[in-house]
Structure 1
Amino acid sequence: MEKIIKNGMVYDPLNNIDGDKMDICIKDGKVVDSVSDSAEVIDASGKIVMAGGVDPHTHIAGAKVNVGRMYRPEDSKRDVETKFGGRRAGSGFSVPSTFMTGYRYAQMGYTTAMEAAMPPLLARHTHEEFHDMPILDHGAFPLFGNNWFVMKYLKEGDLDKCAAYAAWLLRVTKGYAIKIVNPAGTEQWAWGGNVHGINDPVSYFDVTGADIIKGLAEVNEMLGLPHAIHLHCNDLGHPGNYETTIASFDVPKDIKPAPKYGNRDKILYATHVQFHSYDGTNWRDFKSAAPKVADYVNKNDHIVIDIGQVTLDETTTMTADGPMEYDLHSLNGLKWANCDVEMETGSGVVPFIYAARAPVPASQWGVGMELFLEVKDASKVCLTTDSPNAGPFTRYPRVIAWLMSNKYRMNLIENELHKWAQTKTTVATLDREYSLSEIAQVTRATAAKVLGLSDTKGHLGVGADADIAVYDINPETQDFSADYMEVEKAFGNASYVLKDGTVVVIDGTMTNPDLYGRTYWINTHGKAEAEEAVKADVEKWFKQYYSVNLANYPVQDTYIPHSVPLIGDSVEAAEGASK
């Protein structure tokens, strides 16, 4: 079980290693100081070495993902995995089937991915799909922002009960983090409406999006959860929404952080910020507000963002922001699926075509690139496409090449994109090019740290999981700005990928498709008195409102064969945690 990766150029921002030629030693699935002379040698001469990629926000498992697969046979035809070499057959371009999802991530050198929106009532289905997803370590974020219990307790001003309920829901769904989507708006959609901005109250509960963001941020710190609150702001995709975005960022700014909360140092994680960085009053006078949003991120240290970069593909949008999906369906006239998940959330699914020659998609591409290039500190940014919403995760290598090559971006701007990319955004004036260290930061280190997993993920220091990617590009001999197609090819087909020390990919081909990863989830508790009161409320409301009995709601341990429970505060395995 010993291996040594020799002579590679290592990029590991969390350990301040920037292209140093060094060996990485592996034993029993972990990075170690040294190994014996009999260790298996992997020669990485002339190649770069990074920790396995960490995707903090993607949609890969669960009910709405499965709807996307079923009602888009035209998407399934675009990418097909045949049964070969121990691999399972599968299909899907923007929404790949479960086995293919694991394979495609692994081929790019990614070893961890988080499902970013799990309806609690449908948690079992999410975990069933994780069970069929090879290679990846994973976790799922239950949806809290439109939950009746959350809004009831916030209306009553009882944070202790809200925290006790959040802890209970994380435990019974085997969830990892507090996810907030269009706070108050998705519940309003159940009544045929929406909210606009953070100060509109939701019907009956009379709480606003600002109340929900602040309350759940305080709950997150009360429980000492490893990940910051994970926020999808109101007004997604609407011109002028940047004001709501910045106001939302400000809501939890002054909340006192928990004394101990793992190894993250941020209070707020804001997702797919590209979709929330628009100025103007309509699409006629629309322009990018990315410089204003980036300026806020540059000046404030409580926040990490991911981008949601448009990849200029035909794709499948899916989100718990149900009213937004209806707006999208009304705009493009394509088929639409919608679901209201009882007392918890809702969702919609709509295909979309981000055509390079169309004005709005070209502008959205530019807005995402602006955010990447205008935020000065890569430790505040994660590379995502909000897969599959702005494009499939399989386009990450292309996004990396765009970031590393101004020439690639300018060729696209001048020859393929609608002129709005130049007139509505400033992207054509930005010549910054990401270094390999910054690529490692936005694809590994930032995500691992804000998720509270950087003890073992996102780096190659001693004690880290031996999740490692080797790429066939050489900074000593290649000009990445000019050779951008080689960059894209290399990051899409890793030379080697190791998962827990086992080689799973060689030259972009799966070699060990039967290795399965861990499920991370939170096993934590609120105050005992509050938990008793919440238990009574849950039992009462389940009998009164839910379509299932309470006994059929929790996810049993048998659904999670590779379970890694974590607890608040110390982010240690929850062995011995109170029952």
Structure 2
Amino acid sequence: MNELIIKNGIVFDPLNNIKDEKKDICIRDGKIVDDVKNPKILDVNGLLVFPGGVDGHSHIAGAKVNSGRLIRPEDGRRSLKPKTSITMPSSGYSVKNVFSEGYDYSIMGYTTVVEPAMPPLSAIHTHEELRDIPMLDKLSLTLFGFNWFVMGYVSRGEIDKLAAYVAWMLKRTRGYGIKIVNPGGGENWKWGKNVDSLDDQVIHFGVTPREILNDLMKVNEILDLPHPIHVHTNKLGQPGNYNITVDTMKLASGFETQRGREPLHITHVMFSSYGGENWKTFDSKADEIAREVNSNKFITVDVGQLMFGDTTTMTADGYLEFNLQKLTGFKWSNSDTELETGGGVTPVIYSPTVPVNVIQWAIGLEAALLINDPYQVWLTTDHPNGAPLTRYPEIISLLMSKEKREKEILQVNNAVNKRAILPSLDREYEWNEIAIITRAAQANSYQLRDKGHLGIGADADVTIFDIKPNEIDPSKDYDKVEKAFSAAKYTIKGGEIVVKDGQIVKVVSGKTYWTNAEFDEYYELIEDDLKDWFANYYTVNLDNYGVNDVYLTNPCMIRTNPTIGSRVRLA
């Protein structure tokens, strides 16, 4: 029996309404328990204690990540660390190797991470990389936004077939939920076009982004999936796109849900909150986005914070990457994944002297500061698109300190004072709010019942930071905040100390979560369609398609309770 007791920590556990409380945490065999008999004692003497971190959107595995590694060998040579007696060699700054991803997250106190964009055809590749990432529990979202099966079923109004296909695909790819990137627009990009509104037609299919989003929200409800549809909005990265973002958010306010949870998550909202008619008139509309979030309990967002410096952008939105490459002139990779999705990769440099980049930087912080309920906003950088994951500690210090923000504003282009409202915002995040946006909110949205909290029965994933919250003022001591969040005093994964004083001391393997919607009895609805399309259009046989559990580390299946023929509707 493996027992541990963490004594005298100052605990913030929002999901259990524990805030700034001196409390002991008992652990037995990888779980939080109410009592232990013969424990090892870890006295942390007033240090800050959080649940293990949960990152709900980070590109850490799969074809696009590997493409980034291939086209950026110069990035791979950064942050080189040799093999040690317990760790493998790590490398990469923005596009890290799999070992570096696991180690860097663990050092910052994270224990669970979501890969948010898995192409079905290359799902095996994604899971092979996830299997090699140490330290972390993982899950992946499967891409559906401009899949030919999806658009065909939507165009014909075959909602039961669409639900059967999504359930089948999640099982075959070992995916956790529905990811949608530039719905319909990604297909139009294959013909050199895009969409400008939710009601534009998709070439050859006669459907609209609105219809794709509405029907996939219905399917999400029918299948009782654990996470809302996870949406990368249309026109992402284009001036004036806040209007279509607001229109997309409004879809959720009219949705009649029977499951008692939000139906829609907007991801990396910084890239979707742009005003202006072009880059010369570009300005922040984070206030408009926050106003919609604050009035709509049915949505959540993550920030996708941009930080200054160079990084690598990667997305299934090939149109976005093509236009970004035209702006920068940097190298570029673009791909089309048969009938399912696509993507692109290109480097970028965000400069504090460039007005557009400065306003982008301000937008992310504004969104986080203007959204009232921290359970509706997550801290992300859309790693590595806005910045590498290792920039999280700096972002936390910016959210907790207006003084730090003011110092930064003095160092950047003056456009931030003219076309953004960040200088006028006084809000400073508290410790409990940081625990929510980096842990509780994300675990809650994914319905990871054993994650993001320290209640009895939870996984014993705990982070202890080398800072005493009752002895410092984060609004003034922001450098100490950043330092503490950069290197945990202890990271405990499954009850085992894996990080001590910012150093990896033990390497462990995590779990891989996936969703089984138990829809096998309805496979006959789509069996003929699958056999026909795979025989005529795919480069692989149907029998060879997808992922088996052998590719997963410690697979953890989530069962749902689907209702075929559900009368889910839009008001």
- Please give the range of the TM-score, normalised by the shorter of the 2 chains: over 0.9
Give the aligned partner of residue 568 of structure 2. none
- Structure 1: unaligned runs, 5 residues or longer: 571-579
Give the aligned partner of residue 356 of structure 2. 360
Among 471, 474, 477, the alignment partner of 1:480 is 474
Q: CA deviation at 1:527?
A: 7.8
Cα deviation code 1:404-459 (max 9, x no counterpart): 11111110001x21111221100001111100000000000000000111x21100
Give the aligned partner of residue 554 of structure 2. 562
State whether residues 15 and 453 of structure 2, in contact with CA within 8 Å, keep that contact through their aligned partners in structure 1.
Answer: yes
Rounded to whole Å, the distance in 2 between the matches of 1:130 and 1:527 is 26
Q: Structure 1 residue 540 and structure 2 residue 532: aligned? A: yes
Matched-pair identity in %:
48
The alignment of Structure 1 onto Structure 2 pairs a total of residues equal to 561
State whether residues 469 and 498 of structure 1, in contact with CA within 8 Å, keep that contact through their aligned partners in structure 2.
Answer: yes
- Within a 5 Å distance, the mapping from 1:29-40 to structure 2 comes to 29-36=30-37, 38-40=38-40
State whether residues 160 and 527 of structure 1, in contact with CA within 8 Å, keep that contact through their aligned partners in structure 2.
Answer: no
Q: CA deviation at 1:51?
A: 0.4
TM-score (norm 1): 0.96
Among 429, 432, 441, the alignment partner of 1:437 is 432
* Local SS of the residue matching 1:219: helix
Rounded to whole Å, the distance in 2 between the matches of 1:85 and 1:371 is 43
Q: CA deviation at 1:218?
A: 0.4
State whether residues 242 and 276 of structure 1, in contact with CA within 8 Å, keep that contact through their aligned partners in structure 2.
Answer: yes
Give the aligned partner of residue 567 of structure 2. none
Rounded to whole Å, the distance in 2 between the matches of 1:206 and 1:45 is 64
Give the aligned partner of residue 177 of structure 1. 177
* Local SS of the residue matching 2:57: strand
Q: CA deviation at 1:479?
A: 1.7
Rounded to whole Å, the distance in 2 between the matches of 1:84 and 1:527 is 46
Q: CA deviation at 1:46?
A: 2.4
State whether residues 94 and 392 of structure 1, in contact with CA within 8 Å, keep that contact through their aligned partners in structure 2.
Answer: yes
Q: Runs (4+) of structure 1 moved beyond 6 Å?
A: none
Q: CA deviation at 1:548?
A: 0.9
Aligned-partner residue type, residue 478 of structure 2 = Y
- Structure 2: unaligned runs, 5 residues or longer: 563-571
Give the aligned partner of residue 510 of structure 2. 517
Moved more, 555-564 or 57-66: 555-564
Q: Structure 1 residue 134 and structure 2 residue 157: aligned? A: no
Give the aligned partner of residue 487 of structure 2. 493
Rounded to whole Å, the distance in 1 between the matches of 2:78 and 2:351 is 17
Rounded to whole Å, the distance in 2 between the matches of 1:367 and 1:417 is 14
Give the aligned partner of residue 387 of structure 1. 383
Rounded to whole Å, the distance in 1 between the matches of 2:360 and 2:373 is 22
State whether residues 181 and 320 of structure 1, in contact with CA within 8 Å, keep that contact through their aligned partners in structure 2.
Answer: yes
Among 343, 346, 350, the alignment partner of 1:347 is 343
Give the aligned partner of residue 266 of structure 1. 262
State whether residues 222 and 258 of structure 1, in contact with CA within 8 Å, keep that contact through their aligned partners in structure 2.
Answer: no
- Within a 5 Å distance, the mapping from 1:67-216 to structure 2 comes to 67-216=67-216
Among 299, 304, 307, the alignment partner of 2:303 is 307
| CA RMSD of superposed structures (Å) | 1.1
State whether residues 22 and 46 of structure 2, in contact with CA within 8 Å, keep that contact through their aligned partners in structure 1.
Answer: no
Rounded to whole Å, the distance in 2 between the matches of 1:558 and 1:170 is 16
Rounded to whole Å, the distance in 2 between the matches of 1:239 and 1:370 is 17
Rounded to whole Å, the distance in 1 between the matches of 2:330 and 2:509 is 37
Cα deviation code 1:156-211 (max 9, x no counterpart): 10110000000000000000010000000111111222112211111111111111
Rounded to whole Å, the distance in 2 between the matches of 1:478 and 1:250 is 41
Rounded to whole Å, the distance in 1 between the matches of 2:259 and 2:395 is 37
Give the aligned partner of residue 426 of structure 1. 421
Give the aligned partner of residue 464 of structure 1. 458
Give the aligned partner of residue 7 of structure 1. 8
Rounded to whole Å, the distance in 2 between the matches of 1:42 and 1:292 is 47
TM-score (norm 2): 0.97
State whether residues 224 and 517 of structure 2, in contact with CA within 8 Å, keep that contact through their aligned partners in structure 1.
Answer: no
Among 497, 516, 521, the alignment partner of 1:503 is 497
Aligned-partner residue type, residue 26 of structure 1 = I
State whether residues 11 and 23 of structure 2, in contact with CA within 8 Å, keep that contact through their aligned partners in structure 1.
Answer: yes
State whether residues 164 and 525 of structure 2, in contact with CA within 8 Å, keep that contact through their aligned partners in structure 1.
Answer: no
Aligned-partner residue type, residue 62 of structure 1 = G
Aligned-partner residue type, residue 447 of structure 1 = Q
Rounded to whole Å, the distance in 2 between the matches of 1:279 and 1:360 is 11
Q: Structure 1 residue 321 and structure 2 residue 317: aligned? A: yes
Q: CA deviation at 1:367?
A: 0.5
* Local SS of the residue matching 1:178: strand
